[in-house]
Amino acid sequence: MRTKIAALVVGGLLLGGAAVANAQEQTTTTTTATVGWGHHRGEVAETVLAELVADGTITQVQADAIVAAFEAQRAEMQENRTLLEGFWEDDVLTAEEIAQLNEPNRFTATDSPFAEALADGELTRDEVEAIRDERRAHFEEVRDLVEGFLDDGILTSDEIAQLPEPHPFTEDGPFADALSDSQLTQEELDEARPHRGERGGRGPRGEGAGFGA
């Protein structure tokens, strides 16, 4: 179980993650959001990759390919940040400017949190900040519910059904394998989130925990 969950963590940290959060971070120059590995996330990912290579779950070649893929993603994110810094000078991001970004569908997809605000062909800084605040409140609501459900050390499928969407406890989410028995224990959650100890508290915390991915 440990190696399966570790593999899920790698997938979530490197190739998945909070796409919505990343898109929101990139839309403002007033925050110093982590792009790419980030100091702590990089250490966690490298440690998990090393463990997976050591126990034979993946080869060193595969680990190197994961790192290379993520480095390429980081370069694209930095390119986006540079473009957005210029686009935001007038506090408005137009559909034409969004089309110039890598992965513009983060803004334009029908299920994007920005889709409704973009209906008039532009996003204002105030709209983006309002969307971020709304998403943050949602993630905090999910976190608080999960923490309460975990008082007995187990998150059941019935309890998951009470969580407002989006949340990471779905059939195709990062905890899918661990939830195959219709419940997630505190131990399984801790193993899937190796950085939990430094942040403290129980349950998923914040947008970086994978909500909205």
φ, ψ (nearest 5 deg) of residue 50: -60, -40
Supply angle C-alpha 71, 77, 78, rounded to 5. Answer: 90
Instruction: Encode the chain (213 residues) as per-residue pLDDT tens digits.
Output: 444 444 444 444 444 434 434 444 444 433 333 334 445 566 667 888 889 999 998 999 999 998 898 888 889 889 999 999 999 999 999 999 999 998 898 899 998 999 999 999 999 999 999 999 999 999 999 999 999 999 999 999 999 999 998 888 888 888 888 888 889 888 888 776 644 444 444 444 344 344 333
**pTM for this one?**
0.56
Sequence-ordered strand ranges (E) for 67-182: 92-94, 122-124, 154-156
- CA 142 to each of CA 138, 163, 185: distance values in angstroms, whole numbers, following the listed order: 6, 6, 17
**Do 153 and 185 touch, CB atoms closer than 8 A?**
yes
Question: In whole angstroms, what is the distance from residue 49 CA to residue 67 CA?
Answer: 9
